[in-house]
């Protein structure tokens, strides 16, 4: 079997060019459901390029750089802006339309703050989602110790404002476990740290979509957390989210970005989880006759 070939393109959405990448079906292939990877804080599509080929047999995988990251740049005459979760959710749909997915329900895998965007999409357009798997979504406001966590998040932002990005990351990074002894992979997938802190850190850390609407819609949602991530706040928030939504949590290999360090093992778990979600949906359809 020949290796999959990545194909890239662009579309525009609300004043921004969006750059996306997919693996097109091979000649004779048809009917594979679309799976869109939604990036978190680093915002760059390249973080998912290693895992996508391992999911290509079942899905047409695709990803994109979120607005203001990588090649997804504001159109001429348009300024960089603070992250708007609702707009970011619409960007996901714009990419889906550009890829020709518009008439198919979407499978979504989101990482970290990408889960905020995907849950926002689930709240506003549940009818467009087949299944959503969100990895370590940081909803600080739901935590029992939310006051302490929010104080910490604002201390990181204050350090950025007063002393710059390096000072902020010296406070922030030690609170992300699971990277001890691992090399920093580097590259474009690391994203633009200055831009993330300036425009996105607080919205992705403290904004919570309307989880009530997600629950009421009945959209299929599950959460994952890394084996090495221990009791990080973004792991504990998945406990609260799963409790509210009445859905499953799954342990997967690695850390907050385990899909970069162990892409094949991580992909194997994604396939298992989506299969379980599909079976649960089939059972529900039979039970309720729809």
pLDDT tens string 94-130: 999 999 997 899 999 999 999 999 999 999 999 999 9
Q: Which residue has the higher pLDDT, 172 or 80?
A: 172
Which residue in 271, 270, 204 sits closest to 237, CA to CA? 204
> When comparing pLDDT for 229 and 283, which is higher?
229
The mean pLDDT of the chain is 94
pLDDT in tens, 18-42: 999 999 987 677 779 999 999 998 8
State how far the Cα of 207 lies from the Cα of 116, in Å rounded to an integer: 8
Q: What percent of the chain has pLDDT over 70?
A: 97
The residue-averaged pLDDT of 242-267 equals 98
Does the pLDDT value for residue 172 go beyond 70?
Answer: yes
Does the pLDDT value for residue 79 go beyond 90?
no
Check pLDDT > 90 for residue 50.
yes
C-alpha–C-alpha distance, residues 189 and 100, integer Å: 25
Q: CA nearest 178: which of 232, 142, 139, 215?
A: 232
What are the boundaries of each domain within the chain? 6-288
Whole-model pTM: value is: 0.96
For 6-288, CATH gives 3.40.50.1820
What is the spatial distance between Cα 166 and Cα 108, in angstroms, rounded to a whole number?
Answer: 32
pLDDT at 190: 79
Question: Tell me: the pLDDT tens digits for 131-161?
Answer: 999 999 999 999 999 999 999 999 999 999 9
The per-residue pLDDT for 1 is 56
């Amino acid at each position: 079997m020949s290796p999959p070939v990545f194909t890239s393109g662009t579309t525009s959405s609300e004043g921004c060019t969006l750059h996306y990448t997919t693996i097109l079906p091979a000649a004779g292939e048809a009917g594979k459901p679309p799976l869109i990877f939604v990036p978190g804080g680093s915002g760059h599509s390249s973080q998912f390029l290693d895992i996508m080929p391992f999911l290509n047999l079942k899905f047409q995988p695709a990803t994109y750089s979120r607005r203001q990251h990588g090649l997804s740049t504001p159109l001429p005459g348009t300024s960089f802006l603070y992250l708007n979760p609702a707009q970011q959710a619409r960007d996901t749909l714009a990419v889906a339309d550009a890829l020709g997915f518009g008439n198919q329900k979407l499978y979504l895998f989101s990482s970290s703050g990408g889960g905020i965007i995907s849950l926002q999409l689930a709240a506003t357009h549940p009818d467009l989602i087949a299944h959503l798997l969100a990895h370590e979504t940081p909803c600080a406001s739901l935590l029992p110790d939310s006051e302490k966590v929010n104080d910490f998040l604002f201390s990181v932002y204050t350090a950025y404002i007063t002393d710059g990005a390096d000072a902020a990351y010296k406070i922030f990074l030690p609170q992300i476990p699971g990277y001890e002894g691992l090399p920093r992979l580097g590259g474009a997938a690391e994203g633009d740290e200055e831009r993330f802190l300036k425009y996105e850190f607080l919205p992705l850390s403290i904004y919570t979509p309307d989880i009530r609407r997600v629950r009421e819609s009945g959209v299929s949602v599950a959460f994952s957390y890394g084996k090495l991530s221990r009791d990080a706040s973004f792991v504990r928030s998945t406990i609260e989210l799963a409790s509210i939504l009445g859905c499953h949590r799954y342990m997967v290999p690695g850390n907050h970005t385990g899909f970069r360090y162990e892409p094949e093992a991580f992909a194997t778990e994604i396939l298992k989880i989506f299969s379980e979600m599909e079976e649960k949906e089939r059972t529900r359809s039979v039970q309720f006759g729809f």
